[in-house]
């Protein structure tokens, strides 16, 4: 997309033409549900970060959500994010340049995409090996950047999912803490795709227990967060201590997968 095209597109977004009533109502509903669940747990909803999962979404949709107050967006694929981030950042820059977007990589990170990922994202949620932590740290150090990281744990122990084991999680976390170019934010997991609420709750509670035990072992690491909970289970995740929820379809509506996107 040409810069001139983006400028005229930005004008439409900034005037509010692309902020749909449905998007606004879904965001209001999400914030209300997050607030209610947090209150039930005796927590402050302000401590819970809402990430709008923007994979397959257009730059216009992201900027519309930004206009409504959302600042955190998550992408699954580095290649898809590469062009989209540039378009969105240009639009946001035209609008104000004051409140920046925080880009989160929430999908699996291949080693050959590390350099580009470090350039694009402020937060990487999918560090699951010591080697990947080392590669990300070296790439961040080479450009003088500090990247915030979560250790991804396969809390449901499903063979099809990425993530380190519970036994290795502390080891991976230590490799992040040891690098000046990385900052450990906590632990991330994806709940099992099932209607069995007990199974989902169990995976979340196991990660919470892991986090709590590591905080006791390493008090010098500070308070660690939990990135868990998506459109179908974020309220349950918050009840289990989640500090960051990653919501896509409940915010933007059902996805259109007719477009082809490259691998991460």
pLDDT at 9: 43
Domain range holding 195?
3-252
252 has a pLDDT exceeding 50: yes
Task: Look at residue 215 and tell me if it is in a domain.
Answer: yes
pLDDT in tens, 29-64: 999 999 999 999 999 999 999 999 999 999 999 999
193 lies in some domain: yes
Q: Assess if residue 260 is contained within a domain.
A: no
Task: Report yes or no on 261 lying in a domain.
Answer: no
What pLDDT was estimated at residue 262?
A: 37
The answer to which of 5-9, 143-147, 148-152, 241-245 has the lowest mean pLDDT is 5-9
pLDDT tens for 71-84 read 999 999 999 999 99
| pLDDT for 263 | 33
Find all residues with CB under 8 Å of 69, minimum gap 6, and list them.
27
Is the residue at 262 inside a domain?
A: no
Residue 263 forms part of a structural domain: no
20 band by pLDDT with thresholds 50, 70 and 90: confident
pLDDT at 5: 40
Instruction: Note the pLDDT tens digit of each residue in 64-74.
Output: 999 999 999 99
Nearest to 60 by CA among 25, 20, 26, 27: 20
Q: Higher model confidence: residue 260 or residue 62?
A: 62
Three-class secondary structure of residue 41 per DSSP:
coil
Quote the CA–CA distance of 198 and 203 in Å, as a whole number.
Answer: 9
The reply to whether 12 falls in a domain is yes
**What is the number of structural domains in the chain?**
1
Q: Are 74 and 52 in contact (CB under 8 A)?
A: yes
Is there a domain that residue 211 lies in? yes
Q: What CATH code is carried by the domain that includes residue 180?
A: 3.20.20.10
Answer whether 184's CB lies under 8 Å from 173's CB.
Answer: yes
């Amino acid at each position: 997309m040409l810069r001139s095209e983006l400028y005229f597109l930005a004008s439409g977004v900034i005037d509010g033409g692309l902020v749909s009533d449905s998007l606004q109502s879904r965001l209001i509903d999400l914030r209300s549900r997050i607030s209610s669940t947090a209150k039930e747990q005796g927590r402050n909803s302000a401590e819970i970060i809402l990430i709008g999962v923007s994979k397959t979404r257009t730059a216009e949709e992201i900027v519309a959500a930004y206009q409504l107050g959302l600042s955190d967006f998550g992408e699954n694929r580095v290649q898809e994010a590469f062009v989209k981030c540039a378009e969105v950042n240009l639009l946001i820059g035209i609008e104000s340049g004051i409140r920046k977007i925080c880009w989160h990589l929430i999908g699996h990170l291949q080693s050959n995409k590390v350099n580009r990922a470090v350039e694009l994202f402020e937060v990487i949620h999918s560090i699951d090996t010591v080697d990947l932590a080392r590669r990300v740290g070296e790439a961040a150090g080479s450009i003088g950047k500090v990247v915030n990281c979560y250790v991804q744990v396969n809390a449901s122990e499903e063979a099809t999912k990425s993530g380190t084991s519970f036994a290795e999680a502390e080891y991976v976390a230590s490799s992040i803490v040891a690098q000046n170019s990385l900052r450990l934010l906590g632990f991330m997991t994806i709940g099992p795709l099932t209607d069995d609420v007990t199974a989902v709750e169990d995976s979340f509670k196991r990660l919470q227990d892991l986090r709590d035990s590591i905080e006791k072992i390493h008090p010098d690491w500070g308070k660690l967060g939990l990135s868990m909970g998506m459109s179908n289970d974020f309220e349950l995740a918050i009840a289990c201590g989640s500090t960051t929820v990653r919501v896509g379809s409940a915010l933007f509506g059902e996805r259109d997968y007719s477009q082809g996107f490259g691998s991460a």
